[in-house]
Amino acid sequence: DIQMTQSPSSLSASVGDRVTITCRASQSISYSLNWYQQKPGKAPNLLIFAASNLQSGVPSRFSGSGSGTDFTLTINSLHPEDFATYFCQQSYSSFVTFGPGTKVDIK
Amino acid sequence: EVQLLESGGNLVQPGGSLRLSCAASGFTFSNYAMTWVRQAPGKGLEWVSSIGSDGDTTYHADSVKGRFTISRDNSKNTLYLQMNSLRAEDTAVYYCATYHCTTSSCYRNYENWGQGALVTVSS
């Protein structure tokens, strides 16, 4: 199976901050990387697909980049509703795997 | 509006069985592949099983292979997960979600999710 890691596991930030989360795959997955946001008690919400494509309805302050094994999710100018946990997911293999998550909380 | 509604979650003893259902509406169910993803309390997301739009192709994670079976009934717009030989480590919220496949590729970005069904395995 393809293993996914994320860093950091958690971070504290303030409204208006720029936040960057990194995801790494154990082998090359081309551009087959998706990002999700999850709030407590809710289902995950797709933010970015195929590494850098913004899902319909997702604010443009979210962006993704990367290819191969290294990927980044960036949130420009953090809004109050962005405090949540973020997961990366590789969709290169039929046997999908998720990263362990990055919790973004209020400083 | 796309809606996915899971049901069947419950408290079950170790070694027991349970069947989850995911009722779909608001889209052409038979055009979409489907998946189950679970989340243990306070933990991350774990992919469980996937099934093609016609039900002919299925995949299961190693952690559930031989115990869980994914299936679908396109005439009822419903996805299922039959769970047998349940273990304490299967305790989780189980989500169903959609993804899209063409004749040549599958795009396993999960656009639509249900609200989840809680399965608790405990004596």
Residues 46-105 of B with CB under 8 A from A: 46-47, 50, 59, 61-62, 95, 97
> At B83, is the pLDDT very low, low, confident or very high (cuts 50, 70, 90)?
very high
**Residue B29 CB burial class (10 angstroms; 0-12, 13-18, ≥19):** buried
Asked whether residue B14 carries a pLDDT value surpassing 90, the answer given is: yes
Is pLDDT of A98 > 90?
yes
pLDDT higher than 90, residue A73: yes
What integer pLDDT is reported at residue B73 of this predicted model?
A: 98
Do A44 and B45 lie within an 8 Å CB cutoff? Answer: yes
Q: Which residue of A has its CA nearest to B114?
A: A43
Q: What SS3 class is residue B123?
A: coil
Report strand pairing: B92-101 vs B78-83: unpaired
Confidence (pLDDT) at A43: 98
Q: Is the pLDDT of residue B74 over 90?
A: yes
Share of chain A above pLDDT 70, in %: 100
- From the centroid of its chain, how far is CA B34? 7
Q: Are B45 and A49 a contacting pair at CB < 8 A?
A: no
Asked if residue B103 has pLDDT above 90, the reply is no
Whether the CB of B114 is below 8 Å from some CB of chain A: the reply is yes
Q: pLDDT exceeding 70 applies to what percent of chain B? A: 100
Output the CA–CA distances (angstroms, integers) from residue A40 to A37, A43, A44, B11, in the order listed.
10, 8, 10, 22
Q: What is the pLDDT of residue B6?
A: 98
pLDDT at A74: 98
- Decide: residue A41, CB within 10 A, 0-12 exposed, 13-18 middle, 19+ buried: exposed
Query: Of B52, B48, B38, whose CA–CA distance to B99 is shortest?
Result: B52
- Rounded mean pLDDT, A62-76: 98
Inspect the interface and report whether the beta carbons of A46 and B110 lie closer than 8 Å.
Answer: yes
